[in-house]
Amino acid sequence: DAGVTQSPTHLIKTRGQQVTLRCSPISGHKSVSWYQQVLGQGPQFIFQYYEKEERGRGNFPDRFSARQFPNYSSELNVNALLLGDSALYLCASSWAVTGELFFGEGSRLTVL
C-alpha cells in the first residue's frame, strides 16, 4: 500500500513568491495534518483537517492556508514567502481524528 505522498519533494522560491504543497494521504485516511520542521528543530504543527473541515491551527500567520479536498488530499499554501519559511514541510495522515499519524517524506522548501 502507498504511504503518504507529498509533492514536490524539493523546491526553491524567492522572497515574496507563493508556494503550494500537495499531500495525498494513505488510502482510507480521512485526516491530514501539516507540520513545519526548521533545521535543528522538531516539527511544529500548522494545520489539521478532518472530513474537509479545519480542526486545528497552530501559531502561524495568515500567510499560511490549507484545504482538504473530497478525496481527502490536501494542499498547503504559503503566500508572500519569507526567508524564515525555508523548512521541511511534513504532511501526516490518520484514519480518523484520533490515531497514529503516518508522515510523508516531506517537501523541502528553500526561500532565497
Decide if residue 66 touches another protein (CB under 8 A): no
Decide if residue 44 touches another protein (CB under 8 A): yes
Decide if residue 101 touches another protein (CB under 8 A): yes
CB 47 within 8 A of CB 56: yes
Nearer to another protein, 16 or 56 (CB): 56
Question: Which residues ranging from 23 to 42 are in contact with another protein (CB under 8 A)?
Answer: 31, 33, 35, 40-42
**HSE of 111 in the Cβ direction (CA atoms, 13 Å)?**
18
**ω into 43 cis (within 30 of 0):** no
Among residues 12, 80, 82, 97, which is the contact residue for another protein, using CB under 8 A? Answer: 97
Q: Which three three-digit cell numbers place residue 44?
A: 511544529
d(CA 61, CA 27): 31
Decide if residue 64 touches another protein (CB under 8 A): no
Decide if residue 81 touches another protein (CB under 8 A): no
**ω into 8 cis (within 30 of 0):** yes
Residues lying near another protein in the complex (CB under 8 A): 4, 31, 33, 35, 40-45, 48, 56, 58, 90, 92, 94, 96-106
